[in-house]
Amino acid sequence: MKMKRIGLFVFGLLGLVLLTSCTLSLAEDITPPPGYVPPTPAPDPAEVLGEIYPATMPDLESGAAIYAQSCALCHGDTGLADSPQAESLPVAVPAIGTPEMARASVPADWYATITLGRMDQMMPPFADSYSDAERWDVLAYVYSLSAAAAELEAGQALYQADCASCHGEDGVPTVPKVSDFTDAEAMVQVSEESMFQITREGTETGMPAYGDLSDDEIWALTAYIRSFTLATLEQRQNLLGFDSEEIAAEEPTAEANAPEAEAEDGDGPTRPETEGGEDGGDTVEVQPIVAEDGVVTGTVENGSGGEVPTGLVVTLRAFDNMEETYNIDTEIDADGAFRFESLELEDGRILITTADYGGITYNSEFVVASLGDTEFDLPLTIYETTTDPSMLAVDLAHIFFEFPIEDKVQVIEFYLVSNPSNFAVVAPGEDEAALTFPLPEGYENLQFETGEIGNPYVQTADGFGDPRTILPGVTDYQVLFAFEMPYTRSLEMVQGFDVPIETVSIFLPDDSVKVKTDALQDAGTQNLGDLVYHQYTSTQAFEPGSVLTLELSGRNPANRFSLNLTQDTKNLVIGLGTFLIVVAVGWWWLQNRPGQADVDFSDDVDLDVADVPVTDAADELMDAIIALDERYEAGEINADEYERQRAELKAQLRELI
């Protein structure tokens, strides 16, 4: 099971939480220096994003120029995250140019990331640097990195042979109730993996399965379908031979943080600026804004109330275009103050101060030097450490259950953690964890949104842990992971918690599977795109060491993907990642499937399963339990009688299996 399934629907519901939990302290769209941990909240995503789809067909050449100027430094020339800068960053840079990552992505998600940034992953926002159209331009170019023109040509031939008769030669359908591949608003909410699944298996609404096509042929077909809204085949063909290095040299202006070049007279760095005709005109050299009398001051405070150690070393670090220009050390005085003088400052240079204390590097906010600014105050706060995770608090705990295949349930858990204390929570030792996550007995196939066991997570006896330090602050730590559990008709899952949790919510596909627990109450339904989830919310807080016991029952719905491109999805929160699937097997089928005998529960339950095949007998017992639950929920049976009959049925089921 692939982790892309997590992003497809969890971010649809939690997108706003996730984005506002990212941190940002930029007055401009400037990439922070390596190792920086920005402290202030991100802007309101809804105000920045608006409607998420391109109003016109993106311009691939424009996107290539923007990519070379603003993206290649970290993501690499071809999107493989193989640049020297990527290797120096403290986070893993996504290889956005690989087919695997591009096919699993939802364009609306990537557009939101380009617009708002992901500062927790050191991805800056570009809402102010580029227009809506330009951001779609660069997104289209990113997708072109993983789909060569030859692949689109092959996809075009397949499309004309197998798809055009219904969907139209240009993607506009020629028959009713068929997806419009030119509908940008709908198509940017769909991943190519979803399209692959539908093409391979067909849909229940009439689209035939194309299982006779090879994987490569289907991928070529989905890439061509994507070209109807993001970048045409003709654009891809015209882009062949387009030199990104030439673009990088020609496009930047003084306003765009262009790379520095040494002046011929040796008087210091200069910044290229273009002016003139349509092709940028002649390039002229302009003198940079440089101050040689810059001053940075600040004080170091101990946020835990302890003493600031005498002689603590503070480092001033200066960055130009993500490259460190210089660093200077000084010791604090008796009052914890420090001062750096006679500093060379250039317009756009980033300055931060750092200090190492207790094995942790702390940094100030950063400032960007500009015309007329020569003095900056960059104070630092350090903290004492603790290995006690009870100092932490879970602000949000959501558990989703998904049934992608028979005999399995995928459990997806998202935690938003804050540290309201004035101590940094650290791991007690090497290969140990600062925060641990117990997992239910019998879990398998553990996967993470980012990272893996060994990088950075560590395996524990009953789950996994994160060794990274959690500094004081609100909602500045989040983890999203998934695992699988065996499931046919029932499951008892015991989820433990090692940190205090005020509220836990679980989400189940509506009416497909029932849950029984004393710790949750029905909170109604939540719509996620075309899928309805039933939400249950805890009625109590969970202390460290406590558990949540859930009993799931009902036939595995074994969901299948289905595109519904006419569905209006813009009411989703920010539109991040709609999960375009429908439940193939509903509750009505469980109760009314052919050959199912009516069961009368007006008297005590007494099923004779001795002469019934084991599988059928287990199904009958599960149906009996479900029907009994329904009668109890409807008030048709009292609690004592309900518990007695349910215990008897479960005992028979245990003996059988």
For the stretch 452-489, pLDDT in tens is 999 899 999 999 999 999 999 755 688 899 999 999 88
What is the SS3 assignment for 363?
A: strand
Question: Cα separations (Å) of 535 from 521, 600, 640?
Answer: 9, 30, 27
Name the β-bridge partners of 504.
397
CB distance 448 to 455 below 8 Å: no
Q: What pLDDT is stored for residue 530 in this prediction?
A: 56
Burial status of residue 547 (CB atoms within 10 A of its CB: 0-12, 13-18, 19 or more): middle
Alpha helices in 381-508 (DSSP H): none
User: Which residues, 6 or more positions from 518, have their beta carbon under 8 angstroms from its beta carbon?
Assistant: 549
Q: What pLDDT is stored for residue 395 in this prediction?
A: 83
Q: What pLDDT is stored for residue 464 in this prediction?
A: 97
Q: Which residues of the chain have pLDDT under 50?
A: 1-31, 38-48, 241-287, 560-615
The DSSP line for 72-121 is HHHH-TTSSS-SHHHHHSSSPPP-TTSHHHHHH--HHHHHHHHHH-BGGG
Q: For residues 272 and 243, give the distance between their C-alpha atoms in angstroms, rounded to a whole number.
A: 19
CB distance 82 to 68 below 8 Å: no
Q: What pLDDT is stored for residue 35 in this prediction?
A: 54
What is the SS3 assignment for 254?
A: helix
Q: What pLDDT is stored for residue 291 in this prediction?
A: 64
Q: For residues 350 and 364, give the distance between their C-alpha atoms in angstroms, rounded to a whole number.
A: 12
Name the β-bridge partners of 28.
none
**DSSP code at position 35:** T
Tokens of 60: 């691939």
Q: What pLDDT is stored for residue 648 in this prediction?
A: 82
Taking residue 269's Cβ as centre, other Cβ atoms within 10 Å add up to: 16
CB distance 415 to 389 below 8 Å: no
Alpha helices in 188-242 (DSSP H): 192-201, 215-226, 233-239
pLDDT per position as a tens digit, 208-231: 888 889 999 999 999 999 989 987
